[in-house]
Amino acid sequence: MTAVTPLTHECITQADPSLNLGSPVNILALVPPVTLRQAVIRPALSYLGISSRSAENLLLGTLMVMAWLPPGKQPHGGIGPYSISRGLHTRIWDDYLAKDPEVASLIRGLASQRCFLQNPHGELGYNLAYATAIAWLVYQQQPLDLSDNMDINELAQLWYLIYPHHDASATDFIECWNRAAHDEPMISV
């Protein structure tokens, strides 16, 4: 059974927390990874001035592992396909973007004009470009040495050390990558 979030005016309202909506929709069941790379991840990174195959692979791997991790390994209260919590989203804005108004302006440019002001966390669930940019900032706010020829093991280690999860491992990242690479030959490092 699919839950439908009601629309009001120009904005999507938050779902009633008393509803048990089950697991979130797995974006990978709807869109192939290669399409996510080409139509969402690469354009979002390009908008931020980043042109890096490793950055694309890191975000694509993050998207895949967050889609396939069991709920017990997901961050509590994660929103959207990257499973970013309200707390992490707020910390990125308050502790990172507040110190870099130029990047903050770019990120804000990806968000809806009115909806962001009413429900900024909702953007993580229905605005893939915005969610991708915020997921990138989860990594970028850390001291990150991202060479352009990183292999899947190196990317998995970065995800494991930096991206929020509960008792997941770099192996989870690698297994999700390999599953997608098996199903979709164009997914490669």
- Whether 48 maps to a domain, the answer reads yes
Structural domain contains residue 1: no
Give domain status of residue 55, yes or no. Answer: yes
Whether 168 is in a domain gets the answer yes
- Per-residue pLDDT for the chain (189 aa), expressed as one digit of tens each? 444 444 343 555 554 454 444 445 577 777 889 999 999 999 999 999 999 999 999 999 999 999 989 988 989 899 999 999 999 999 999 999 999 999 999 999 998 877 887 788 989 988 999 999 999 999 999 988 888 889 999 999 999 999 999 999 999 999 999 988 766 554 555
| 108 falls within a domain | yes
Asked whether the beta carbons of 51 and 142 are under 8 A apart, the reply is no
Q: How many domains does the chain have?
A: 1
Task: Report yes or no on 104 lying in a domain.
Answer: yes
* Structural domain includes residue 14: no
Structural domain range at position 92: 32-67+84-183
- Strands 11-12, 7-8: pairing kind: antiparallel
CB atoms within 10 A of CB 67: 20
Distances (CA, A) of 169 to 11, 67, 74, 151, 188: 37, 15, 12, 16, 21
Residues in the chain, how many? Answer: 189
Global pTM value: 0.84
